[in-house]
């Protein structure tokens, strides 16, 4: 249990051989990226996301969500004010779920404000490969987010039918790594939730040159660790079964 609402640990450079080798969701080097880890009690998750992400002072939250659908389903023609695109695609494999061979993808953009972030994280109740989000500037081309996160459609469409092989898990990890790298290259700060065991929270990825400002903004007013203290905190979390939540 944390002694305060949340705690932040920073990595100025992502370490694929150390911490990165323990994280199950990502495989291989991510390039010259920094990472800001935010840890909180699961009961405080909504409050913490709603505090930490607007503190970055970047204008928008970009999201993608996916659901399984029956054959012949078409996305609705209407859009709400936040929708960027609806897509429907064939799953790569169906195995036990032959009746749900298609998936729906929905792309949205919200203002990076406390009320909007609270609405966005409603998708985090169930950790799955069918959700992704990133923080970006208002002037960021919306099409860039769609191009970056389409990688996760492949991640989601892979079989989830309890017949996972080592090769399939490795493929998912490589896909998630590509998504993180491409999103950062396109100007976004991708955010991956933690698995709520033992802590909830998030990891925000950003270019290494943007890390000092991102860390300083998110750490304002809370306990913030860097260097060996941050590494110890992150490793302790992973050693207790903590992880990123995509796989």
Q: Residues 86-136: pLDDT tens digits?
A: 888 888 877 788 888 888 889 999 999 999 999 888 767 667 778 999 999
pLDDT value for 172: 86
Percent of the chain at pLDDT exceeding 90? 50
Which pTM value belongs to this model?
0.92
Sheet holding 60-69, edge to edge: 83-90, 102-111, 60-69, 131-136, 189-193, 200-207, 33-40, 6-11, 223-225
Could you give the CA distance from residue 166 to residue 189 in angstroms, rounded to a whole number?
29
Whether 61 shows a pLDDT value over 60: the answer reads: yes
Count Cβ atoms below 10 Å from residue 138 Cβ, excluding itself.
10
Separation of alpha carbons 157 and 130, rounded Å: 9
**How does residue 2 score in pLDDT terms, banded at 50, 70 and 90?**
low
More confident residue, 31 or 2: 31
pLDDT at 126: 66
Greatest CA separation found in the chain?
A: 54
| Helix/strand/coil percentages in the chain, nearest 5 | 35, 25, 35
Percent of the chain scoring above 70 in pLDDT = 94
Is 141's pLDDT higher than 90? no
136 within 8 A of 188, measured Cβ to Cβ: yes
* Residue 125: per-residue pLDDT: 66
pLDDT of residue 1: 45
Mean pLDDT value of segment 209-231: 94
Q: Is the pLDDT of residue 227 over 90?
A: yes
Give the contacts of 193 (CB within 8 A, at least 6 positions apart). 124, 127, 200, 201, 202, 244, 245
Q: Give the model's pLDDT for residue 163.
A: 73
Question: In whole angstroms, what is the distance from residue 148 CA to residue 57 CA?
Answer: 22
Instruction: Take residue 130 and report the two structure tokens written for it.
Output: 């069918």
pLDDT tens sequence across 73-97: 877 776 778 888 888 888 887 778 8
Q: How confident is the model at residue 138 (pLDDT cuts 50, 70, 90)?
A: confident
Where in the chain are the domains? Answer: 6-239
User: Of 205, 181, 217, nearest to 13 (Cα)?
Assistant: 205
Quickly state the pLDDT bin for 145 (edges 50, 70, 90): very high
Is residue 188 within 8 Å of residue 62, measured between CB atoms?
Answer: yes
């Amino acid at each position: 249990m944390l002694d305060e609402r949340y705690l932040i640990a920073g990595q100025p450079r992502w370490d694929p051989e150390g911490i990165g080798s323990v994280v199950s969701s990502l495989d291989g080097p991510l390039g010259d990226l920094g990472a800001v880890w935010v840890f909180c009690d699961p009961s405080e998750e909504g409050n913490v996301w709603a505090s930490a992400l607007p503190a970055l002072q970047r204008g928008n939250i970009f999201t993608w969500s996916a659901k399984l659908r029956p054959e012949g389903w078409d996305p609705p023609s209407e859009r709400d004010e936040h929708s960027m695109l609806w897509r429907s695609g064939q799953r790569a494999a169906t195995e036990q779920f032959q009746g749900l061979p298609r998936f729906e993808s929905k792309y949205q953009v919200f203002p990076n404000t406390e009320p909007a972030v609270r609405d966005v994280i409603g998708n985090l109740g169930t950790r799955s490969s069918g959700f992704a989000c990133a923080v970006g500037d208002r002037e960021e081309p919306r099409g860039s987010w769609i191009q970056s996160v389409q990688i996760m459609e492949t991640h989601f469409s892979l079989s989830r039918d309890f017949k996972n092989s080592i090769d399939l898990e490795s493929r998912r990890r490589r896909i998630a790594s590509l998504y993180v790298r491409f999103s950062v290259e396109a100007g976004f700060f991708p955010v991956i939730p933690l698995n709520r065991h033992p802590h909830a929270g998030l990891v925000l990825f950003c270019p290494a040159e943007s890390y000092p400002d991102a860390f300083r903004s998110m750490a304002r007013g809370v306990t913030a660790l860097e260097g060996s203290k941050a590494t110890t905190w992150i490793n302790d979390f992973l050693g207790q079964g903590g992880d990123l939540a995509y796989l």
